[in-house]
Structure 1
Amino acid sequence: MKKKVYGKELRQRGRKLSAWSSFWRFPIVWMIAGAVGIILIDTVFRQLTAQAEGAVSLIFTLVMGFLAILVYKLTLTFLARRSTPEISGQRAGTEAILGVLTGTIFITGSVLIIAALGGYSFQWASSADPSTVLISSVKPALEGAVIEELIFRGLMFQAMDTWGGKPLSLAVTSLFFGASHLGNTGATVWSAFAIVLEAGVLLGAAFLWRRNLWFTMGLHLAWNTMEGLLGIPVSGHAAAGLFTVKMNGDALLTGGDFGLEGSIVPVAISLLFSVPMLIAGARKRRVDPGKPSALK
């Protein structure tokens, strides 16, 4: 009799453990759990960096990035029970550098076109300290690149992919990414829509193409850093750059108070980048449809 009771208790415990495991493996659950963990780390380190200066604040940001990536990996490994090739250390440096180069070309090209059309004029800010400007540009750019890419192109993209495939993932992450910038200074419905296309779609396409978060982080980092160094507002956030920027003409060309992201020019250029990336990503999936990866 005791053996039967004990066996029944074991089966009940097994069912409870199975139900608990299934709960955490539900895409929305592990997506939210991971995002909360990453946001908590970001919040804590924002307080620390606010009290630090110079290189110390940059070191705090690097530590924050490491811990956020660790939370992401633990979430996918132990809750979602998925592999994480998108954040693998292999080729991390190469992918990040390629992303930085892509982001630099994208922003430089957009700025040059707007300047050629008379929208921007630059004057060297003689009072600016280059090292201070560099740190003040890189620190928030690095923070945004790591946190936003882990949450949007990492957690949310893969959770939505589980439900409805990559087209749904691209659409949902792009829309949420645009909406997340609505509270920024100078934001409008147009600027949010522009973010959906030029950032949400571009970064999502980059992720599908490279299957790699290091690439999208590098692209994102270069994007915001270049704007900061040039003195252009970064999605509504003022930048103390190496140049003083004068904007001339319609906000549709210059982006107005919201900055470059509110301009029609990077929206158009981003589509020129995104379409080939999406095509390359689709071809890669067809070539290797059976690859055992969360990103296949």
Structure 2
Amino acid sequence: MKKIIRFPLVWMLTGVILLGLPGFMTQKLFVNSQGILSIIMALAGGIVSIAIYWLVMKFMAGRRVQELQLQRAGNELILGAAVGLILIGVSVGIIMMLGGYSFTWSATNAVGSILAMAIGAAIVEELIFRGLFLQAVEKRLGSWFALAVTSLFFGLAHLPNPGATLWSSIAIVIEAGILLGAGFLWRRNLWFAMGLHFAWNALEGMLGIPVSGITTQGFFEVQLSGSPWLTGGSFGLEASIVPIIVSLLIAIPMLISAHHKGNIKFKR
């Protein structure tokens, strides 16, 4: 029985199912909440999700949960958020210079809901994709295969989003799946991946740009001009070619550094 429980596929699927429950319940609660209450709900759900992940990894996978060390949480969250802000800031800046985006101040905003959604997505999705999925596959088939598979499934997971197309999912595979996976392999830390994911979604939402097809009500309203290849169209920035290029310019050095640090594992 112990051998079955410790098998990567078993603890991975168990963790995914258990993490899906608080994530779904919390989302239902803060969707109808506003302001600070929605943020508190998202943080509470995040804490529960982290606790579930820790218990699964500790008692089912039978390993130390070094990727969630509290001592490193602050620094890694800040570093990850800085990378996320650079990615979105540079991408939006390039599109603006090419005439694709212009912004006007919005009379109303729902920043509390934007931050709550960003917190919930960053925590639950990173625990599932980089925490459970990547490490389970990596244990049997190595880091490179795990990075490829988790990136593919991360893109496919966004296919049901409003306005999603095959292209938008391919774009997310490259820009988000590879970048977030590379960040985890580089730092071997989920706080870093969460910080990057949160800053990405939060800044995009506050600028009024749709986040993977989900319309946001941020501080600004964005006007699009030109080809969807440049602007991303109604799906948002993720479907633009610009962040794909920028994210690869960030991810490749991360992967090189991960290799030099000995963080890349190979098939057994």
Structure 2 residue runs without a partner (length 5+): none
Which of 13, 22, 25 does residue 41 from structure 1 map onto?
Answer: 22
Check whether the contact 2:30–2:116 (CA below 8 A) recurs between aligned residues: no
Identity across the alignment (%): 50
What is the distance in 2 between the residues matched to 1:110 and 1:156?
28
Structure 2 residue 56 is the aligned partner of structure 1 residue 79: no
What is the distance in 1 between the residues matched to 2:33 and 2:249?
40
Superposed, 1:127-146 pairs within 5 Å as 127-129=107-109, 133-146=110-123
Query: If the length of structure 2 is used for normalisation, what is the TM-score?
Result: 0.96
Check whether the contact 2:35–2:111 (CA below 8 A) recurs between aligned residues: no
Match of 1:96 in 2: 77
Match of 1:32 in 2: 13
Structure 2 residue 246 is the aligned partner of structure 1 residue 269: yes
Match of 1:160 in 2: 137
Cα offset for 1:91? 1.5
What is the distance in 1 between the residues matched to 2:33 and 2:167?
36
Match of 1:187 in 2: 164
Give the number of aligned pairs. 265
SS at match of 1:91: helix
Structure 2 residue 141 is the aligned partner of structure 1 residue 171: no
Structure 2 residue 35 is the aligned partner of structure 1 residue 54: yes
What is the distance in 1 between the residues matched to 2:151 and 2:213?
18
CA displacement 1:126-157 (0-9 Å, x = unmatched) = x125xxx3212211001000010000000000
Which of 208, 215, 218 does residue 238 from structure 1 map onto?
Answer: 215
Query: If the length of structure 1 is used for normalisation, what is the TM-score?
Result: 0.87
Match of 1:112 in 2: 93
What is the distance in 1 between the residues matched to 2:223 and 2:37?
32
Cα offset for 1:228? 0.5
Cα offset for 1:62? 0.5
AA matched with 2:140: W
What is the distance in 1 between the residues matched to 2:205 and 2:32?
21
CA displacement 1:182-228 (0-9 Å, x = unmatched) = 11111111110000000000000000111110000000000000010
What is the distance in 2 between the residues matched to 1:138 and 1:48?
14
Q: Stretches of 4+ moved more than 3 A in 1?
A: none
Match of 2:183 in 1: 206
What is the distance in 2 between the residues matched to 1:56 and 1:128?
18
What is the distance in 1 between the residues matched to 2:114 and 2:92?
17
Cα offset for 1:256? 0.5
Rg larger for: 1
Structure 1 residue runs without a partner (length 5+): 1-19, 290-296
Cα offset for 1:26? 0.9
SS at match of 2:262: helix
